[in-house]
Each structure stands twice: as C-alpha cells, then as structure tokens.
C-alpha cells in the first residue's frame, strides 16, 4: 500500500502580509482552507502541519490537523529553503517509525485548491509511478509576450519569438507552477532536493483555483472568491 503524507507548511513570520496564515479570509483563518481540503482528500494517510508558531499550531489543531512538533526557529527564517522544512518533517516522522512513499506539500497561500485536486494529483503520481507531480495553470502572461527593460527604459524581447506580431491564440500553451500541490516520492525528493525534478508530471488546474496569496490585494481577491462560493448567484433569497 502506498502511504502518502499531507504536509502543510506555515511559519509565523511573513513580510508581505503579517501573520498571513492566521488572517481571516472567507470568515475563517487562512490556514483552515488548506487543512479542510487535506482532511477531505481520500488519498492522504496523515495530515501534519509544520510550524514554528504556537498560535498557528493551535489553530491547526482546532481545524483538525496534527502538529506533532514545533519547527526549530532556524527553519523559519525568510531565507530558509522550503526543502529543508520538508526534510525536517520527514526525518522527524521517520525517526519515530512513520514512513511514507510520497509527501504532498500543501501551502496555505493556495486556499482555493480542492480535495479533488489533491486526490487527482496523487492518483496521477501513483498511476504513472512518477517521482513528482506538480500543479500548474496556463499562464496569461505568455513568455513570448513579456519584455525586459534596459537601464535606459527601452524594451527588448525577454524570450525571442519568430512571429512578428504574435497573437495569443497563435502561441503554444505555456504553464506556470501555481504552488497549490506538490506530490513527491520521498526517496527522490531527499536525493534531488527539488520539488520539480526532471521528468515531473503536470497536474493542470484552472485559474479560478490557482490564486496565490502574496499581498493584501491577493488576500482580498481570495476572500471575494470564497464569499462567492458560499453565496452563489443563483441561490434562493
């Protein structure tokens, strides 16, 4: 049987949005939405929150997740690589005999991903015996349409395109990581230390479930989406 760990990483510090993981959005702390999706998913054998913050840990427990440890302060700095946080959690669990074939990294800053997204990404990894599956979204900002700006303000192609006047409909689809779901085989992750190693498979998500919270404006947008979900336009008065 393939055991799968759901790991939610939520540190206390945040510069863009202070105390971001506890910010109220859609009437609940931000982290609750990711915990709910993880607990509802059928393919996760255990859902653990890695945090350095006792208040976040308590909120996670209130929402039904497990917080078996507090992350060391040196793994909660602005410059801490995310991979170190995941390796710490896997090592901590492994030392206590709790082993997993795959780990699913779920970041609270992607609260619109669903339990179905998690399950389908895990199913894809297991079915294809993949080392990694990462969620992506077709990007609106196509690389052929982006420009770089020189020091004097002049524009130049960021990526060269042979089409003189490229139209979006003429361009090949381009996809960006949306940060919502990372499924990784444990052994490969520990060896490569990359969430998106060569050969990773894509799990495509729609834009409406791919919003990431990095700024107060993002937080407001996600709040509007969640409010709309709770009060659909065709609901009876």
74 and 160 fall within a common domain: no
% of the chain residues with pLDDT over 90: 77
**Domains of the chain: total:** 2
169 and 179 fall within a common domain: no
22 and 86 fall within a common domain: yes
- Dump pLDDT digits (tens) for 84-130: 999 999 999 999 999 999 999 999 999 999 999 999 999 999 999 99
98 and 39 fall within a common domain: yes
56 and 72 fall within a common domain: yes
pLDDT confidence of residue 195: 98
Model confidence at 190: pLDDT above 60: yes
Asked if the structure places residue 233 within a domain, the reply is no
pLDDT confidence of residue 228: 73
52 and 144 fall within a common domain: no
Q: Rounded to two decimals, what is the model's pTM?
A: 0.91
97 and 127 fall within a common domain: yes
- Dump pLDDT digits (tens) for 205-227: 999 999 999 999 999 999 998 88
- Dump pLDDT digits (tens) for 222-234: 999 888 776 555 5
Report the chain's mean pLDDT, rounded to a whole number.
92
122 and 166 fall within a common domain: no
Of the pLDDT bands very low, low, confident and very high (cuts 50, 70, 90), residue 8 is very high
What residues make up the domain containing 154? 140-173
Q: Output the domain CATH number for residue 85.
A: 3.90.550.10
113 and 155 fall within a common domain: no
pLDDT confidence of residue 232: 55
146 and 71 fall within a common domain: no
Asked if the structure places residue 235 within a domain, the reply is no
224 and 163 fall within a common domain: no
106 and 206 fall within a common domain: yes
Asked if the structure places residue 236 within a domain, the reply is no
Of the pLDDT bands very low, low, confident and very high (cuts 50, 70, 90), residue 24 is very high
- How does DSSP assign the chain, residue by residue? ---EEEEEE--S--SSSTTGGG-EETTEEHHHHHHHHHHH-SS-SEEEEE-S-HHHHHHHHHTT-B--S---GGGSSTT--HHHHHHHHHHHHHTTT---SEEEEE-TT-TT--HHHHHHHHHHHHHTT-SEEEEEEE-SS-GGG-EEE-TTS-EEESS--S-SS--GGGSPP-EEEEEEEEEEEHHHHHHH--SS-TTPEEEE--GGG-----SHHHHHHHHHHHHHHHS-TTS--
Asked if the structure places residue 45 within a domain, the reply is yes
């Amino acid at each position: 049987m393939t055991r799968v760990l759901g790991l939610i990483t939520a540190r206390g510090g945040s510069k863009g949005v202070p105390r971001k993981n506890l910010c109220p959005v859609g009437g609940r702390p931000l982290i609750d939405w990711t915990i709910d999706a993880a607990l509802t998913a059928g393919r996760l054998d255990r859902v653990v929150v890695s945090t350095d913050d006792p208040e976040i840990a308590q909120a996670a427990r209130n929402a039904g997740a497990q917080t078996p440890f507090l992350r060391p302060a040196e793994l909660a700095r602005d410059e801490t690589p995310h991979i170190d946080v995941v390796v710490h959690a896997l090592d901590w669990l492994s030392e206590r005999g709790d082993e997993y074939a795959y780990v699913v990294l779920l970041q609270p800053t992607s609260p619109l991903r669903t339990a179905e997204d998690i399950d389908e990404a895990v199913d894809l990894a297991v079915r294809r015996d993949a080392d990694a599956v990462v969620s992506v979204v077709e990007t609106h900002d196509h690389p052929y349409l982006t420009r770089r700006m020189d020091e004097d303000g002049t524009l130049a192609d960021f990526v060269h395109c042979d089409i003189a006047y490229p139209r979006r409909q003429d361009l090949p689809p381009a996809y960006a990581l949306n940060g919502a779901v990372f499924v990784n085989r444990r052994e490969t992750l520990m060896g490569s230390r990359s969430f998106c190693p060569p050969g990773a498979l894509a799990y495509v998500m729609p834009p409406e479930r791919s919003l990431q919270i990095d700024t107060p404006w993002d937080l407001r947008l996600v709040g509007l989406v969640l409010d709309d979900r709770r009060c659909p336009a065709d609901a009876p008065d």
